Amino acid sequence: MKNAEELRAELSQTFAQLKAGEIKPSEAAELANLAGKMINSAKVQVEYYALRKESPRIEWLESPNTEIQRP
């Protein structure tokens, strides 16, 4: 998982598998826990820049497609 979009894809896939009973709840819970850590670390980064009144690029939060759209 190199960025937030990949994490989202992974999470939605896990949710679908959990619903279908393809994976155990304990496995899904582990992934959700790990995702929580990643989300929280990204949130800390966002809060840090907000406190410093800066708005730099946070690569992890940016989609690889946004790079192509930029001039």
Site string for other proteins, 5-44 (x = CB under 8 A): x-xx--xx-xx--xx-----xx-xx-xx--xx-xx--xx-
30, 10 contact by CB (below 8 A): no
Residue 32 CB contacts under 8 Å (≥ 6 apart), including other chains: 11, 14
Number of residues that bind other proteins (CB under 8 A): 29
**What angle is formed at CA 28 by the lines to CA 22 and CA 29, rounded to 5 degrees?**
150
The residue ranges that bind other proteins (CB under 8 A) are 4-5, 7-8, 11-12, 14-15, 18-19, 25-26, 28-29, 31-32, 35-36, 38-39, 42-43, 46-47, 50-51, 58, 61, 63
